[in-house]
Amino acid sequence: MEGQMTNTDAWDPARYGTFGAERRQPFDDLVAACRAVPGGTVVDLGCGAGELTVDLHTAMGAARTVGLDRSTRMLDQARALGAPEGVEFVEGDIATSTLLPADLLFANASLQWIDGHRELLARLRATLRPGGQLAFQVPANFGHPSHLVAFEVAAEAPFAAALADDPPKNRGEEVLQPAAYAQCFYDLGATDQRVWLTVYHHLLASSAAVVDWVEGTMLTQFRSRLDPDTYAAFLARYRERLLGVLGDVAPYFYTYPRILAWARFA
């Protein structure tokens, strides 16, 4: 609607946290691949609401862990946690912030929001201290109807016109194949590495719950670009079309492939 502000910070810690247990599984798997950095420095890129940053800090035995995020709302929640000494939260953009030299750069479910992964990984690698590690997890479910239907609806009137100046793109266009990440690590001089794809699966109460899931993540790029009324209409149309594809199923078995990648450098 004319005159109404769009919500540029569309992240909502409560909504994102609804599926906290499910979203935690890949985090735990990625942490398990990392080597502890006793007394070292960790940077958690796209730290979100911070709970996992604190767990990462403890698991790695770090002296200092910096959570970086560009969402004020997520950071407000993180700062309200009462994090232990050594953990701090900083506002900044992964794509442009100067990062402090780290023993571990860690990114769980955040790098898919950044363009140009080859250049990004090279930049991250350059900020690592000797013997440093880079670890990230990115979704690989961009071909699932939960994602595709959103872009089909975005191409319909009136949404196409409302999004024309800054159209969101399916972030799967930026996520590389697992083998390409392994090649990047090799090209950047990794001395040890592991890249793997895991199909996580979540038994949701019903197919309608998929809408709640993606509202916490993928749909933020539509919420941030549309005024509230247009976003509400977009969401209603998305729900209708998605359930048309998935059926009204209870419970719903939601498959969720993810790429996990870890490397250590000289």
Give the binding site for ligand SAM (CB under 6 A).
11, 23, 27, 46-48, 52, 68-71, 74, 93-95, 108-110, 113-114, 217
Query: Smallest gap, in angstroms, from Cβ of residue 173 to ligand SAM?
Result: 15
Which CB sits closer to ligand SAM, 218 or 243?
A: 218
Query: Smallest gap, in angstroms, from Cβ of residue 240 to ligand SAM?
Result: 25
Which CB sits closer to ligand SAM, 94 or 243?
A: 94
| End-to-end Cα, the chain, rounded Å | 54
Query: Smallest gap, in angstroms, from Cβ of residue 17 to ligand SAM?
Result: 8
Which CB sits closer to ligand SAM, 74 or 184?
A: 74
Q: CA separation (Å) from 210 to 5, 42, 170, 200, 252?
A: 27, 33, 17, 14, 8
Residue 91's nearest CA partner among 77, 75, 112 is: 75
Which CB sits closer to ligand SAM, 72 or 191?
A: 72
Query: Smallest gap, in angstroms, from Cβ of residue 185 to ligand SAM?
Result: 21
Contacts of 221 (CB under 8 A, 6+ apart): 10, 168
Q: State which residue has the least CB distance to ligand SAM.
A: 48
**DSSP helix/strand/coil, 181:** helix
Which CB sits closer to ligand SAM, 41 or 217?
A: 217
| Tokens (6 digits) for 121 | 């990984």
- 172 and 138 in contact (C-beta within 8 Å)? no
Phi, psi of 240, deg, nearest 5? -60, -45
Query: Smallest gap, in angstroms, from Cβ of residue 222 to ligand SAM?
Result: 15
Which CB sits closer to ligand SAM, 102 or 243?
A: 102
Q: Work out whether strand 128-139 and strand 252-265 pair parallel, antiparallel, or are unpaired.
A: antiparallel
The Cα–Cα gap between 239 and 108 comes to: 27
Phi, psi of 41, deg, nearest 5? -115, 130
Query: Smallest gap, in angstroms, from Cβ of residue 158 to ligand SAM?
Result: 27
